[in-house]
Amino acid sequence: MRPTSMTDYIRLATAPFFLRSVEVSRRGSHNEFSSAKILYSNHGRWIMSFVSARGIAFCSRLMMFAAGGFSLLMIASAAADDPIRILVWDEQQPAQKQVYDDFLGNQIAGYLKQQPDLAVTSRRQDDRDQGISDQNLDNCDVLIWWGHVRQRDIKPESGQRIVERIKRGKLSLLALHSAHWSTPFIEAMNERAISDALAQLTDAERKTARVEPIRPEKYAAPGRNDRLTPSVERRTDADGTIVLKIQLPNCCFPAYRPDGKPSHVRVLLPQHPIAKGLPERFDIPHTEMYDEPFHVPAPDEVVFEERWNHGEQFRSGSVWRLGKGRVVYFRPGHETFDVYKQPETLQIVENTARWLGTEQQSSASDR
């Protein structure tokens, strides 16, 4: 049998164990069990043939042993067959129609729906509850987010609901392009900035420390020479309390250029699941330019780097852990360029969703 799924691999791995167990037991119980043979068929069925009637009692005990194996196989099969639930959220602004007949989010969702083992739904900002009701969020493993000109319409409270799910391992977030200023991404980066600051304290200090977060001016890009955010100032009050004054991340960068000039992408972590099946280097023929420094907490992993002919560069595929979940930012895109019709970028979205979803389901099964 040629294995085609995780369940097949488990079956093949356990079959020799059962067969060896039977052979050892047969040799040790020769007088009780003259001959018993178990054949493992292509469909995973157990076929038993008995030559001696005296083997019935032994076979009954053997069936109880095999039943435990069957239970494990059924559990593994159910887990392996669970699709990754993806919600693609899109602002759906009219400018997208210049390139995407049915909007950018539906372009991505349409591609993902054609791939196996993914259960994909689309939501938009004009849907009821802005498309992010508790029911919608509770029924997805991975939230893919694209927003641009209507970011401020999503209130911080909504972003915090998403972040709480990420921290509990109930959800992971993939933010695309201009979603660097989306409410969920901002709130996730705020939470990570505070977590990083507290991690610098001892356990005893954290118990009594006080955090004073300072939010930046919303949707105002930093200057080239501005202090990098997030930043932390520590002081100790007269009563001994440690106070962390945290300038929260701006979640933006000092320069951009929407001229559609090509970018050159280099894979920095070729063994990372997000980079699976990609060439070491590839170009995006038409895209908007973003230039470092990107005002966000230091990522745990940077999978892609993007450069332009004028010398700009950007960390274009970054990963952060947040509690038990993850946040990924993938930079390429702009609603008037056909970035998400390109095989490489669509592959990255699919790879990211699969990796996040698999990690999500694995984390859930461990709880």
Percent of the chain with pLDDT over 90: 71
Res. 76: pLDDT tops 70: no
How far is 186 from 192, CA to CA, in rounded Å?
10
Res. 145: pLDDT tops 70: yes
Res. 71: pLDDT tops 50: no
pLDDT number for residue 361: 79
How far is 147 from 143, CA to CA, in rounded Å?
13
CATH class of 84-193+249-366: alpha beta
Contact 89, 144 (CB under 8 A): yes
Res. 268: pLDDT tops 70: yes
Q: Would you place residue 90 in the very low, low, confident or very high pLDDT band (cuts 50, 70, 90)?
A: very high
Contact 187, 132 (CB under 8 A): no
Q: Is the backbone of residue 328 left (phi > 0), alpha (psi -120 to 50) or beta? A: beta
How far is 199 from 168, CA to CA, in rounded Å?
18
DSSP class of 141 = S
pLDDT number for residue 43: 38
Q: Would you place residue 75 in the very low, low, confident or very high pLDDT band (cuts 50, 70, 90)?
A: very low
C-alpha 278, offset from chain centre: 18
Q: What's the whole-model pTM score?
A: 0.79
Q: What is the pLDDT of residues 91-124, one digit of tens each?
A: 988 999 999 999 999 999 999 999 999 999 999 9
Q: What is the pLDDT of residues 156-213, one digit of tens each?
A: 999 999 999 999 999 999 999 999 999 999 999 999 999 999 999 999 999 999 999 9
pLDDT number for residue 45: 38
How far is 347 from 179, CA to CA, in rounded Å?
19
Q: Would you place residue 151 in the very low, low, confident or very high pLDDT band (cuts 50, 70, 90)?
A: confident
Q: What is the pLDDT of residues 3-20, one digit of tens each?
A: 444 444 444 444 443 333
Write down the mean pLDDT value for the chain: 83
pLDDT number for residue 150: 87
How large is the average pLDDT for residues 219-223? Answer: 94
